[in-house]
């Protein structure tokens, strides 16, 4: 029997949807082992976030109010202390989860299986599948320590739906950590977009180096993105060149996405990019070079100059 603690991810006092993906994994672990799960809302605005998380079947929603911006050292001791009462700690493998959970795990002497894509509970024994080598190998792993810590790949765990009654909420004490005195949070610039979140969108349109400029992203890619109601993504080369901001990067070192439709425009398809999008249901490539590696994963490939093809694609979509 494994009792599970989900560590919620808060952004500006609200629970990010990543939290609900972690809840789905926690439910699988709890149901497969005959255990239960609770949620810890930690950070600024924890009480309000807890109110959002109360209807998802958790035994309890715990709150730890910590003012000021997030730094791992301010949160990890509280996560670890709260985690002592559980067998498994779960969070989404977002930049937040991958920063915070290993520190809490080290405090608990727990092994970490990061970025898992599946939970197994055969005979009540837990193991996890996780993509390795940029998604070219998948490994099944057991955690041997008393406590287990996992982070879950958002694209592989659907967001939990509300279920059942409201869970009771309870405050937990915030723990001090001497390491927290060595880091001062100076600020955060949160990028806002009217468009769907990259990791949650049904359609993603990504541009690569062939776009050549930030203006071309605005004038060529964005109209198609908006005509499709899509999220915008980019290759590492496009982010590095400053055509778009880094949080739009799709790949091994960016976001991993698995939308219904992924449109790769002017992206050659380096293995590191494929790692972030090859789980998409339908993949379209628009590229001048029909030999580009993106062809290895593309369902539909239009060999064309993107500057001609994309505006025509946009117009055709608008007419549908």
Partner 1 sequence: MKILVSIKRVADPDNASKLKVSADGKAVTSEGLEWKMNPFDDWSLEAALRLTENAAEKNARVGEVVLVSIGPNDEHTQRIIREGLAKGAERGILVEADEGTLDAGVVAAVMKAIVDKENPDLVVMGKQAADGDSNVAGTVLAERLGWPIINYAMKIKTSDDGKTLEVLRELDTGVATVKVTGPAVLTTSDRILQPDSVKNGVTPDSHQYAKLEVGGRYASLKGIMQAKKKPIDKMSFSDLGIDASKALNYTKFELPPARTGETTFVADVAELVDKLHNTAKVI
Q: Which is nearer to partner 1, 58 or 294 (by Cβ)? A: 294
Q: Which is nearer to partner 1, 158 or 183 (by Cβ)? A: 183
Q: How far is the CB of 281 from partner 1 (least distance, A)?
A: 7
Site for partner 1 in 15-54 (CB under 8 A): none
| Dist. CA 224–CA 306, nearest whole Å | 12
Assess 159 for contact with partner 1 (CB under 8 A).
no
Residues touching partner 1: how many (CB under 8 A)?
91
Q: Which is nearer to partner 1, 27 or 236 (by Cβ)? A: 236
Q: Which is nearer to partner 1, 58 or 93 (by Cβ)? A: 93
Assess 290 for contact with partner 1 (CB under 8 A).
yes
Q: Which is nearer to partner 1, 85 or 183 (by Cβ)? A: 183
> In 209-292, where does DSSP find H-type helix?
214-216, 222-227, 236-240, 271-274
Token couple for 71:
């730094």
Assess 124 for contact with partner 1 (CB under 8 A).
no
Token couple for 39:
């949620």
Q: How far is the CB of 210 from partner 1 (least distance, A)?
A: 14
Assess 300 for contact with partner 1 (CB under 8 A).
yes
- Name, in order, each residue with C-beta under 8 angstroms of 223's C-beta and a sequence gap of 6 or more: 311, 314
Token couple for 18:
């990543």
The span of 25-33, 39-47, 212-220, 302-310 binding partner 1 (CB under 8 A) equals 302-310
Assess 318 for contact with partner 1 (CB under 8 A).
no
Assess 131 for contact with partner 1 (CB under 8 A).
yes
Q: Which is nearer to partner 1, 123 or 164 (by Cβ)? A: 123
| Dist. CA 12–CA 1, nearest whole Å | 35
Q: Which is nearer to partner 1, 35 or 279 (by Cβ)? A: 279
Assess 144 for contact with partner 1 (CB under 8 A).
yes
Site for partner 1 in 56-115 (CB under 8 A): 69-73, 76, 94-96, 98-99, 102-103, 105-107, 110-115
Instruction: For residue 244, give the nearest of 270, 205, 200, 301 by alpha carbon.
Output: 205
Q: How far is the CB of 2 from partner 1 (least distance, A)?
A: 16
| Dist. CA 282–CA 300, nearest whole Å | 8
**To 10 degrees, the CA torsion angle through 133, 149, 259, 237?**
-50
Q: Which of 34, 136, 215, 289 binds partner 1 (CB under 8 A)?
A: 136
Instruction: For residue 167, give the nearest of 78, 40, 12 by alpha carbon.
Output: 40
Beta strands at 231-234 and 203-207: parallel, antiparallel or unpaired: parallel
Q: How far is the CB of 83 from partner 1 (least distance, A)?
A: 14
Report the DSSP beta bridge partners of residue 231. 204
Report the DSSP beta bridge partners of residue 90. 6, 150
The span of 34-42, 82-90, 125-133, 158-166 binding partner 1 (CB under 8 A) equals 125-133
| Dist. CA 52–CA 161, nearest whole Å | 12
Q: Which of 17, 47, 65, 138 binds partner 1 (CB under 8 A)?
A: 138
Quick check: helix, strand or coil at residue 191?
Answer: coil
Q: How far is the CB of 279 from partner 1 (least distance, A)?
A: 9
- Name, in order, each residue with C-beta under 8 angstroms of 316's C-beta and a sequence gap of 6 or more: none
């Amino acid at each position: 029997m494994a009792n599970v603690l989900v560590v919620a991810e808060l952004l500006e006092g609200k629970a990010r949807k990543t939290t609900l993906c972690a809840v789905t994994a926690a439910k699988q672990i709890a149901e497969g082992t005959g255990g239960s799960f609770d949620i810890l809302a930690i950070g600024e605005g924890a009480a309000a976030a807890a109110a959002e998380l109360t209807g998802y079947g958790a035994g309890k929603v715990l709150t730890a109010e910590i003012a000021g911006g997030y730094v791992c050292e301010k949160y990890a001791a509280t996560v670890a202390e709260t985690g002592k009462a559980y067998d498994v700690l779960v969070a989404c493998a977002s930049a937040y989860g991958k920063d915070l959970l290993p520190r809490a795990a080290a405090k608990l002497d727990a092994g970490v299986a990061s970025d898992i894509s599946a939970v197994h509970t055969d005979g009540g024994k837990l193991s996890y599948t996780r993509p390795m080598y940029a998604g070219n190998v998948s490994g099944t792993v057991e955690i041997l320590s008393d406590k287990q810590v996992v982070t879950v790949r958002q694209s592989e765990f659907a967001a939990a739906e509300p279920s059942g009654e409201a869970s009771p909420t309870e405050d937990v004490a915030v723990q001090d950590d001497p390491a927290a005195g060595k880091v001062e949070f100076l600020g955060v610039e949160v990028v806002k977009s009217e468009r769907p979140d990259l990791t949650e969108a049904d359609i993603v349109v990504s541009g690569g180096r062939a776009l050549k400029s930030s203006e071309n992203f605005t004038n060529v890619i964005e109209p198609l993105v908006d005509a499709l109601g899509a999220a915008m993504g980019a290759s590492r080369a496009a982010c590095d060149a400053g055509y778009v901001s880094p949080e739009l990067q799709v790949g091994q070192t960016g976001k991993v996405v698995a939308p219904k439709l992924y449109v790769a425009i002017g992206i050659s398809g380096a293995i590191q990019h494929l790692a972030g999008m090859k789980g998409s249901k339908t993949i379209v490539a628009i590229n001048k070079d029909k030999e580009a590696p993106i062809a290895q994963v593309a369902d539909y490939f239009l060999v064309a100059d993107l500057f001609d093809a994309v505006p025509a694609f946009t117009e055709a979509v608008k007419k549908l």
